Amino acid sequence: MTYVMTALTMPKFGLAMTEGKLSSWTIAPGGAVREGDEVADIETSKITSGYESPASGVLRRQVALAGETLPVGALLGVVADADVPEAEIDAFIASFRAESTEEGEETAEATSSEPKMVEVGAHRLNVRDVGRGEGPPLLLIHGFGGDLSNWMLNQDVLARHQRVIAFDLPGHGASSKDVGDGSLTFLAEAAAGLLQALDIPKAHVLGHSLGGAVALCLLRDAPDSVVTLTLVAPAGLERAVNVESLKAMVESDRTRDMQQALQALVHDKSLVGRKMADNVLKVRRLDGAREALRTIAATCFANGQQTDDLRPVLDAASVPVRLFWGEEDEILPVAGAKNAPDTVVKYILPEIGHMPQLEKTVEFNRIVEGFLEENA
């Protein structure tokens, strides 16, 4: 008789993750799980996130202890039906360990997903280009003060059937720090330049926050390059913006202060740990990084309000558009969603803050994947 047993393994949340800490089990040994149920909390150097069971059954064995730090792919536990004998579970664990030792070297080599520098005019942009597929690639544009790690829970999932390109906007992450006049138009030019440099005539474009406004500018200035548009809590649809929080995200120079500033981005404050704040501080402390953000803020959020009104661009959009917004957004109020025309399909998410792609990962990825498939 063959038994079905499923290995729970350390997941890989984004490019930088090589190991993770099993913070806690949320299901006790012997507890029933359904596929998609959260079984454990995994803490990485960037974020703590729930780990969902890939199968239904009973959590027969917790192989890893809470608090243990393990490499990506390491065995955490085993899910199987209640009637699978203990001896079979032991054999499964033993064979999993034997196999993973053999595979060890191969996985170490599979690091082609590392970001690379791409020259775009006078810019040097840090670009992470993963996945292959027919049809136009997906371009991800992060928000103010963000970087390509904002997509750590999305990019690799979306790249299963599709080429997905994330990059650091000028002045952000590891990209060069010249942001010109700090305008949306300047940033949109850089995005258009990147598509050209990569020889991509058309792309699906997904923008978050300020990156949403950059995406709208890209649609306005280079309409032929945009196949579909996905906007996540985008700037440009409302006057209101929480400039105090944005300022704290730029200027905070202590871990504690930065952690507090970043917590304004999410509804579930426990998502932002010390490590995440430390990683943002590493980027802020690069020479020129804070100045670049100050320039953008002075142009895009002058006098405590958003400078650019991009509603006309969205009203006139002839490409399919999806809009995500968290009801508890503390940065750009969800009221902005009302200003999108009825032709835009809207997903208004309760109990979610400014970063639905991090807070509502599974649903977000599923909807985006479906949307891209429809428009493939």
Partner 1 sequence: MSKKSFRQAINEALRQEMRRDPTVVLMGEDVAGGQGGSSGVKDAWGGVLGVTKGLLTEFGESRVLDTPISEASYIGAAAGAAATGLRPVAELMFVDFVGCCLDQIMNQAAKFRYMFGGKARTPLVIRAMYGAGFNAAAQHSQALYPLFTHIPGLKVVVPSSPYEAKGLLIEAIRDDDPVIFLENKVMYDDEEDVPDEAYTIPFGEANLTREGSDVTIVAIGRMVGMANEAADRLAKQGISCTVLDPRTTSPLDEQTILECVEDTGRLVVVDESSPRCNMACDISALVAEHAFGALKAPIRRVVPPHTPVPFSTPLEKLYMPSAEKIEAAVKSVMTQKTPEVA
The CB density around residue 66, as the number of other CB atoms within 10 Å, is 12
**What are the tokens at 6?**
């499923």
Binding residue count for partner 1, defined by CB under 8 A: 19
Residue 255: partners with Cβ closer than 8 Å, 6 or more residues away: 274, 277, 278, 281
User: Letter for the amino acid at 371?
Assistant: F
Q: How many CB atoms lie within 10 A of CB 333?
A: 18
Closest CA to 120 of 144, 139, 145, 135: 139
Site for partner 1 in 136-175 (CB under 8 A): 174
The dihedral over CA atoms of 306, 259, 363, 67, expressed in degrees to the nearest 10, equals: 170
Closest distance of CB 258 from partner 1, Å: 11
In the complex with partner 1, the residue whose CB is nearer, 275 or 346, is 275
Phi, psi angles (nearest 5°) of residue 19 = -150, 160
91 binds partner 1 (CB under 8 A): no
- In this chain, which of 275, 294, 311, 346 binds partner 1, going by CB under 8 A? 275
Taking contact as CB under 8 A, which single stretch among the options 159-167, 252-260, 313-321, 327-335 is the one that binds partner 1?
252-260
For partner 1, the closer of residues 69 and 95 by Cβ is: 69
Contact between 14 and partner 1 per CB under 8 A: no
Nearer to partner 1, 62 or 299 (CB): 62
Pick the stretch among 60-68, 76-84, 235-243, 338-346 that binds partner 1 (CB under 8 A): 60-68
Which of 287, 303, 350, 374 binds partner 1 (CB under 8 A)? It is 287
Query: Which of 34, 97, 282, 366 is the binder for partner 1 (CB under 8 A)?
Result: 282
Q: In the structure encoding, which two tokens stand for residue 353, read together? A: 């803050």
CB 194 within 8 A of CB 167: yes
Contact between 253 and partner 1 (CB under 8 A)?
Answer: yes
Q: Which residues bind partner 1 (CB under 8 A)?
A: 21, 65-69, 174, 253-255, 273-275, 278, 282, 285-288
